[in-house]
Structure 1
Amino acid sequence: MGKIKKKGTSGNAKLYITRSQAVRKLQIPLPDFRRLCIFKGIYPREPRSKKRASKSSTPSTTFYYTKDIQYLLHEPLLNKFRDQKALAKKISKALGRNEVSDAARLERNFTPRLRLDHIIKERYPTFVDALRDLDDALSMLFLFGNLPSTENVPPKAVAKCQRLTLEFEHYLIRTHALRKSFLSIKGIYYQATIHGQDILWLVPYRFVQRTGADVDFRIMATFVEFYTTLLSFVNFRLYTSIGLVYPPKLDAKSEESGAELSAFQLENQGDGGKAEMAEVMDTEMHTKAQAEADRLLSLGEAEAGTDAGEAQSGSQAGEQSESSAVDELTSTTLDQFTSLDPNADTLLQPSLTADVQTASELFEPFNVFLSRETPRHPLEFILRAFGCKRVGWDTSLGDPGAYCSEDDTRVTHQIVDRPDIPLPSPPQTDGELDADDDEEGGVGARKTNERVPGRIYVQPQWVWDSVNAGQLQRADLYAPGATLPPHLSPWVKPKRGGYDPTVPLAEQETAAEAEAGSDEDEVDADEALEEASDGEEIEGVRGDEEARGLEEELDDDDGMDVELAASDDEEDDLAAETVAGAEGDEWGGFSGDEAGDEAGDVDQAAHEAREHQAELEAEALGRQPQSGKNDAKKHAREAAQSKRTKAEREAQEDVERRKLMMPRRKRKMFEKMVYSNAKKDEEAERLRAKKRKIEKVGGKQKV
């Protein structure tokens, strides 16, 4: 007989541990246990059988791995938590004795400082691991950077989040690592490629945020504390990898005036502390010289005292060497695939050089001015990340140290978000000078709501669509007051058979949808003809002018006489006289069958008479009779529909026969696949019907 196992020593009972048992084992309160689990990346687990995992009669709801809790027993933060608890007791005793100064001294000098550096190194052994986990960190930090400071959100945490996110954006601007962006209801999505890793994060719009009472900011503050440490490590590694000093210098006055990105001064390593301001580069030669100096310093190919004149003279050669340096940096960060067979074909190695080149040259030749109604920070960030180094804005948007003003003649593009901007008024003649003109007789200053000749005016969506498409879009489609093209997500690719908003409706709708749409158009046209009066002109109906002329000729006394068929009342009178005459005769008449045949002939004759009457009226009004034409179309449509229905029925029968030969498991899988495809087709059909309706309404409004 084997040894009887003791309950709770193996299986799920040993593999899992409840939250209350973990708290008692670690000897810390529940809030500190939650903080520690967030810092260490330990989260609850779901056992297959809660009844077997639970060691008590009451079913527990939260379980953890026993090994994870055992791993937390040696965490240095436990001592910090206990020191905080002991300090809190001392401070409470001092306040109870009314010793406020001692309590303040204890809090100021003996508060333990939590350092999460060792946790960052444990959770992310390599730098690529940290980049892969950067999506949630950036979204959380950008969110807290836009929140107002409250009791739950201290101002120091908000300022730290803003500083770290702006430093990260400066790196993206410097390396042109931003790839795509999308405007959604939740906020603005950004995607960047850093060391071969795609990072996607969400930035909320800068509205007044109201914090809800149902949000536990203590849990979110714990995540923010961990993410700020993580992003500090990542920013340090990114800045040092391109030869920049971290942290960059921050101008407090510029930050108070709303400079944001312009408040930071980037410095190169080994240049003696000489600051570099990308915003004050006024000429193209200075831009190329600085880029050459940065390249040489980052690669270690020049000393600290590199002369700027040499950089200017070799600017053209510097561009080629800079591109090769970017290629070298990219190839070292991406995986390289080698073939084991020397006779095999050469494998294409991944490279981001083309994307970096496209991003750095998209808006490079432009001078852009941002109107005061546009969102300055997102536009400035995207424009500078894609090569534009000359961005100006109105003084009401922030720091006045912008590149140019609205009246600057160097501005090539102005981004506005207004209904329409009128063209400038024509120049006044000598006799129409206003009283506001100067003494020399010149024309007054330009109005602020008028366009500047030679400048391109676009809406903000032009920037996002150009970035996602990888090339500049037509500016006339994004003119002020114009109906903008649909702003589509760059991460959603249209699938075969699905709805594609970029393709015309006629190319993607099915035959049944096309016939249904043509039927609806014919019904609408018939209703329009019926509702229209005799003298009303209907677009698309031939013979309106001829009908009016023919009616005028019929009203004249000398016009031609047209004998029209009798009306319904006249036919009834004629039928009554015929019956009366038949009753007065001595002849007995027909039998019942013969009388019925005669009545059917009379009804058919009346129907033909009414059709003839309708044809004559249509000819008199200059219209074509629709009955025969509609009948022919109807018969052709019914024949095509019956043929299509027959083909679909045969295909369905073939599928059913094939399903009978399948195993049960594959048949169920096939039915699920058919169901999901039908749902997708139904959704695509609904979207196409919606687009057809919108185009029809738009066409009617244009008419």
Structure 2
Amino acid sequence: MGKIQKKGQAGAAKNYITRTRAVKKLQISLPDFRRLCIFKGIYPREPRKKKKVSKGSTAATTFYYTKDIQYLLHEPLLAKFREHKAVAKKIAKALGRGEAGDAARLEKNLVPKIKLDHIIKERYPTFTDALRDLDDALSMLFLFANLPSSEHVPAKTIALCQKLCHEFEHYVITSHSLRKTFLSIKGIYYQATIQGQDVMWLVPYRFVQRTGGDIDFRIMGTFVEFYTTLLGFVNYRLYTSIGLVYPPRFNADLDAQGAELSAFQIEGKGVAANGDVSHGDVSETANPEAQAVADRIAAAPVTEEEQPEDTQVVPAAEEENTETIDKFEAVAPDADVLPQPQASSAEVAALFAPYTFYLARETPRAPLEFLLKAFGCKRVGWDSTLGDGAFTSNESDPSITHQIVDRTAIATEDASETPDGAAPKVQWPRSTMPGRTYVQPQWVWDCINQGKLLRPDLYAPGAELPPHLSPWVKPKKGEYDPNLPLQAQELEGEREAFEDAEEVASEGEAEESDDEVDEDEGMESDASVEAGEGMQVDGSEDEEEDDDEPQKPADEFDGFDSDAESDVSEGEAARLQHQRELEAEATGKTLEPEVETTKSKNAAVRKKAERKRKEEQDERDRQKMMLSNKKRKLLKRIEYGSNKRDVEAENLRRKKRKLEKAKAAAEAV
């Protein structure tokens, strides 16, 4: 007979341990326990049967795996935490005795310094694992880099986050690894492909941040401490992989003047100590050995003997034409749509290379500078008020090809001064440089996401911008696509139904306004009528005028005001038409053809579409009857999601239709 086990000593009760017991077992304080768990990547666990684990108790309790806590018993940081606790007691005693000097000496010499290098190597055995976990690290560090300094967030931590973030951005610029970006409500999303891994991070906008009191900055500070160590390792590995010196040379004076990215000077490993390499020369010095071999081969002259006989000299123009991307066009309207080839990464990386950009002072300089340099532009200038490090701060520099502005249109004349109160002339800006292209900031983001230069006139200052869509969300079949016209997305009869509904609504508003006018006129006439004035008398002129008008016979029908006639079936309409033809033939009159109005056309199209949809629905119902009960329920869930998507798309199309109608009415005025 086996040994009888007691309750709570095996199974789930042994696999889990409460937080209180874990802290007592490790013999550290609760803040140190939280800090250690964050460093080691150990998080609370929720048991399946919580009542068995807690021995019948229903109180809210935090559980951990027992094996995780046993794993922490051998952590070297436990000794550091205990040393820190002992030194803290000595400092507290010195301060209690009023010995501030001894307390400062103890804090400077005896407080142990915690290093997380071994934890980074332990949690990320390969560099690919570190890249996969880089999303949260970058988002957190970019957030702290934009926070104001306070008692919870020291300036030293903010400066370290800014330094590491700028170093990472320099690698992205040098390697041309940035792929997509998106402006959202939360901030600016970036996605880069680094050594085959997609890394996405979020950078908040530079607004005035107000940190609330409900935020636990101790926990966030612990994450920042871990992520700064991680990003330092990652930056070192990334820089050395492309032959750059890490850490890059940092100019504190330029950084104090707001240079930001320009305060770092990137250089290769083979550059002389006294040679200052600008960021534009990084590609030439990233791998000096390979670059020297390439330069030697390119500089070597090719003799006639070495040149093959069948080699033909191709003009430069033809060579450029061969590098362009071919486009596959359909030869027939019903042909299949062929996938178009995408631009190569080298072409996308040099998207803005031939141009010189100037950023107006109202534009966000930091993200625009990063994006433009990441896609090949080496000449980015801005106003001197935005900081130092610009290629040029002179707005009238003739070498500037594009200027990014974000100002509203300026009215050059007052409406009161214009003749007949005409609308004032709108012109932006007050003075433009000839030969320069003026665009809004969204043009840069849309060009990057589409991998080509878009039409700048669509992004002109004061123009209504195209929709800025997420590059990670692709429109599916049946969903609303803002890039396509409404005619290509509308269902059959949808526009006609919308026009009829708008017409009915406008008629109802007109009738309500007429009723209000009649009531007001009646009230005014009652108030202004005096004795014997405005009364109807037999034989008056008004009655004689009414008698002269021909009255309609009682048996003549004038038609319904509603859409009842449109609801008549086609068979009934054909019967009535045949009856009219017989009556006209008997009386000898010619039957005048009925004038087909827009309302009748819409009704016919709508009825045809409804009939077609009803037939399709009946066919689907017949097919459902052949399915099993399980598959029918699954199909019902699928149809529920599809119908919900269709309703959302229809609502968006209706909004777009109303906006287009309002815009057309405003342009007509």
Partner of 1:501: 482
- Measured in 2, the distance between the counterparts of 1:380 and 1:567 equals 84
Cα separation, partners in 2 of 1:402 and 1:638, compared to 1, 3 Å: closer
Match status 1:265 vs 2:268 = no
Partner of 1:662: 628
Does structure 2 retain, via aligned residues, the 8 Å contact 1:266–1:275? Answer: no
Q: What percentage of residue pairs aligned between the two structures are identical?
A: 57
Match status 1:603 vs 2:520 = no
Once the two structures are overlaid, the 10-residue window that deviates more, 499-508 or 398-407, is: 398-407
Cα separation, partners in 2 of 1:516 and 1:143, compared to 1, 3 Å: same
1:532-681 alignment runs, 5 A limit: 569-570=546-547, 602-605=553-556, 607=558, 629=597, 632-633=600-601, 636-637=604-605, 639-640=607-608, 643-644=611-612, 646-658=614-626, 661-664=627-630, 666-681=631-646
Does structure 1 retain, via aligned residues, the 8 Å contact 2:459–2:465? Answer: yes
Does structure 2 retain, via aligned residues, the 8 Å contact 1:394–1:405? Answer: yes
Partner of 1:456: 437
Cα separation, partners in 2 of 1:293 and 1:212, compared to 1, 3 Å: closer
- Measured in 2, the distance between the counterparts of 1:275 and 1:116 equals 35
Q: Secondary structure at the match of 1:570?
A: helix
One-letter amino acid of the counterpart of residue 475, structure 1: P
Q: Offset at 1:315?
A: 13
Partner of 1:204: 204
- Measured in 2, the distance between the counterparts of 1:574 and 1:80 equals 109
One-letter amino acid of the counterpart of residue 555, structure 2: Q
Match status 1:65 vs 2:54 = no
- Measured in 1, the distance between the counterparts of 2:114 and 2:475 equals 49
Partner of 1:149: 149
Cα separation, partners in 2 of 1:89 and 1:567, compared to 1, 3 Å: farther
Q: Offset at 1:150?
A: 0.2
Partner of 1:29: 29
Partner of 1:694: 659
Q: Secondary structure at the match of 2:244?
A: coil
Does structure 2 retain, via aligned residues, the 8 Å contact 1:421–1:451? Answer: no
What are the Cα deviations for residues 649-684 of structure 1, in whole angstroms up to 9, with x where unaligned? 4134314413xx3143x3332222221222212211
1:199-598 alignment runs, 5 A limit: 199-278=199-278, 291-297=283-289, 299=290, 313=299, 355-399=344-388, 401-403=390-392, 405-420=394-409, 449-520=430-501, 522-523=503-504, 569-570=546-547
Does structure 1 retain, via aligned residues, the 8 Å contact 2:139–2:202? Answer: yes
Cα separation, partners in 2 of 1:464 and 1:301, compared to 1, 3 Å: same
Q: Offset at 1:685?
A: 1.4
- Measured in 2, the distance between the counterparts of 1:472 and 1:315 equals 37
- Measured in 1, the distance between the counterparts of 2:656 and 2:266 equals 50
Does structure 2 retain, via aligned residues, the 8 Å contact 1:135–1:201? Answer: yes
- Measured in 2, the distance between the counterparts of 1:406 and 1:229 equals 41
Cα separation, partners in 2 of 1:687 and 1:568, compared to 1, 3 Å: farther
What are the Cα deviations for residues 303-341 of structure 1, in whole angstroms up to 9, with x where unaligned? xxx9xx96995899xxxxxxxxxxxxxxxxxxxxxxxxx
Q: Offset at 1:526?
A: 6.7
Does structure 1 retain, via aligned residues, the 8 Å contact 2:493–2:605? Answer: no
One-letter amino acid of the counterpart of residue 367, structure 2: P
Q: Secondary structure at the match of 1:686?
A: helix
Partner of 1:598: none
- Measured in 2, the distance between the counterparts of 1:151 and 1:655 equals 68
Partner of 1:426: none
Cα separation, partners in 2 of 1:94 and 1:293, compared to 1, 3 Å: closer
One-letter amino acid of the counterpart of residue 605, structure 1: E
- Measured in 2, the distance between the counterparts of 1:626 and 1:311 equals 85
- Measured in 1, the distance between the counterparts of 2:139 and 2:650 equals 35
Cα separation, partners in 2 of 1:3 and 1:692, compared to 1, 3 Å: same
Q: Offset at 1:9?
A: 2.8
Cα separation, partners in 2 of 1:524 and 1:237, compared to 1, 3 Å: same
Cα separation, partners in 2 of 1:156 and 1:509, compared to 1, 3 Å: same
Cα separation, partners in 2 of 1:215 and 1:652, compared to 1, 3 Å: same
What are the Cα deviations for residues 66-89 of structure 1, in whole angstroms up to 9, with x where unaligned? 111110000000011111110110
Q: Secondary structure at the match of 1:181?
A: strand
Q: Offset at 1:99?
A: 1.1
- Measured in 1, the distance between the counterparts of 2:297 and 2:391 equals 26
Unaligned segments of structure 1, at least 5 residues: 282-286, 317-351, 424-446, 534-565, 576-600, 611-623
Q: Offset at 1:374?
A: 0.7
Q: Offset at 1:626?
A: 9.8
What are the Cα deviations for residues 255-312 of structure 1, in whole angstroms up to 9, with x where unaligned? 0000001001112113232444435x6xxxxx5xx63443334x4866xxx9xx9699
- Measured in 1, the distance between the counterparts of 2:108 and 2:470 equals 51
What are the Cα deviations for residues 574-621 of structure 1, in whole angstroms up to 9, with x where unaligned? 99xxxxxxxxxxxxxxxxxxxxxxxxx94123749x9xxxxxxxxxxx
Does structure 2 retain, via aligned residues, the 8 Å contact 1:422–1:450? Answer: no
Does structure 1 retain, via aligned residues, the 8 Å contact 2:496–2:603? Answer: no
Q: Secondary structure at the match of 1:64?
A: strand
Does structure 1 retain, via aligned residues, the 8 Å contact 2:250–2:265? Answer: yes
Q: Secondary structure at the match of 1:654?
A: helix
Q: Offset at 1:420?
A: 3.6
- Measured in 1, the distance between the counterparts of 2:594 and 2:499 equals 16
Does structure 2 retain, via aligned residues, the 8 Å contact 1:292–1:315? Answer: no
Cα separation, partners in 2 of 1:639 and 1:149, compared to 1, 3 Å: closer
1:89-238 alignment runs, 5 A limit: 89-238=89-238
One-letter amino acid of the counterpart of residue 296, structure 1: P
Q: Secondary structure at the match of 1:75?
A: coil
- Measured in 2, the distance between the counterparts of 1:147 and 1:701 equals 44
TM-score normalised by L of structure 2? 0.77
- Measured in 2, the distance between the counterparts of 1:30 and 1:387 equals 51
Cα separation, partners in 2 of 1:301 and 1:645, compared to 1, 3 Å: closer
Q: Offset at 1:531?
A: 11
Q: Offset at 1:471?
A: 0.3
Does structure 1 retain, via aligned residues, the 8 Å contact 2:254–2:389? Answer: no
Q: Offset at 1:415?
A: 0.6
Tell me how many residue pairs correspond in the alignment: 556
What are the Cα deviations for residues 364-410 of structure 1, in whole angstroms up to 9, with x where unaligned? 00011111111111101000000000111111110165345211111
One-letter amino acid of the counterpart of residue 451, structure 1: T
- Measured in 1, the distance between the counterparts of 2:251 and 2:598 equals 78
Q: Offset at 1:516?
A: 1.4
One-letter amino acid of the counterpart of residue 57, structure 1: S
One-letter amino acid of the counterpart of residue 291, structure 1: S
Q: Offset at 1:510?
A: 1.2
- Measured in 1, the distance between the counterparts of 2:180 and 2:6 equals 59
- Measured in 2, the distance between the counterparts of 1:186 and 1:211 equals 16
What are the Cα deviations for residues 25-74 of structure 1, in whole angstroms up to 9, with x where unaligned? 11111111100010000111111110111146353431111111110000
Does structure 1 retain, via aligned residues, the 8 Å contact 2:178–2:191? Answer: yes
Does structure 1 retain, via aligned residues, the 8 Å contact 2:254–2:262? Answer: yes
Match status 1:50 vs 2:50 = yes
Partner of 2:327: none
- Measured in 2, the distance between the counterparts of 1:486 and 1:450 equals 28
- Measured in 2, the distance between the counterparts of 1:470 and 1:422 equals 35
TM-score normalised by L of structure 1? 0.73
